[in-house]
Amino acid sequence: MEDKKHLLPSDKKRKRLIKVNAKTNPNYGKSPDERSVKELLNYGMINLDKPCGPTSHQVVAWVRDMLDIDKTGHGGTLDPNATGILPVALGDAVRALQVLLSAGKEYVGIMTLHKSFDKKQIMEACNSFVGDVFQIPPLRSAVKRVRRKRRIYYLDVIQIKDRDVLFRVGCEAGTYVRTLCVDIGKKLGAGAHLAELKRTRIGYLREEDSVILQDIKDAYVIWKEEKDEKELRSTILPMERLLDHLPKIVIRDSAVGAVCHGASLAIPGVVEVDTDINKDDLVAVLTLKGEGVALVKSLMSTEEIMQKDTGICADLERVLMNKGTYPSIWKKS
């Protein structure tokens, strides 16, 4: 259980409220856990522990080749020398990767100071960066170098040995830990740099549940040669795991086809809704079987969605489900 000091925004506890009772038709769609291995290879994700050395792009290409599929993508680039969680989406699951931009991230790293300081000075300097910080991406980054605001949720000094500082930081997506170390060095007045970095969390994806490249290769070979899919199923997770940190709205079977064809979400289609949804929140829309249908921008709060009987409650941001998975009942009506 995560202690309160180390909570990311994605750790917010929500309850599921039932607006109306509805049943799902077993003839359409299926629970994510019931997907076949072939379906997972086109609609799954891997919580990968990236090794030191290759780029994130190289690692994802290796996964694509290992699994003999056409398309892979990753959520959140790690530098070649950085290790840790690199979520890899398979096939059509790449549509869901954008949701990780709203998931907080955690890193453990070693910062090397360019001069010795006592523990109190180091702790005070690190604590001063908790909250909103302004950063300019480093020269080697692939994004435009403009000043931008990011949030540091927590920054702990775990151990100090000579000039090396072992730390743990929870931060908003898009935070440059390398830049953070340089800025801490400036605050101390002597300079500092990032020596080592490992990403240990992205939302609900954690280091202890990750797999390495060799695990993927072994599991795939066992499935291909021995027809044993147990290891591959524990390696490839349903795409919906990428949505774990988002609030959810569950919709009727009859509304799924309309959303997949680009319609906004109307209140009559809503069956269940999570607590603490606010206007403009990014929300995941699910079927009654738990399948990811789409990402939407909420136009109403949870309370409004529960109270109203008509109106549009969310605008479509991204369709996740393939058209035709559920029948287009809306066309008939």
Answer left, alpha or beta for residue 286, where phi above 0 means left and psi between -120 and 50 means alpha.
Answer: beta
Q: How far apart are CA 86 and CA 46, in angstroms?
A: 8
Q: How far apart are CA 276 and CA 306, in angstroms?
A: 12
Alpha helices in 227-277 (DSSP H): 230-235, 253-260
Q: How far apart are CA 34 and CA 236, in angstroms?
A: 13
Q: Does residue 57 sit in helix, strand or coil?
A: helix
Show Cβ contacts of residue 49 under 8 Å, excluding neighbours closer than 6 positions: 83, 84, 85, 86, 207, 210, 211, 212
DSSP 272-300: EEESS--TT-EEEEE-TT--EEEEEEESS
Q: Is 79 a known active-site residue?
A: yes
- Which residue in the list 3, 70, 79, 274 is annotated as catalytic? 79
N residues, the chain: 333
In the block, residue with structure tokens 């002597």: 190
Q: Indicate which residues carry an active-site annotation.
A: 79
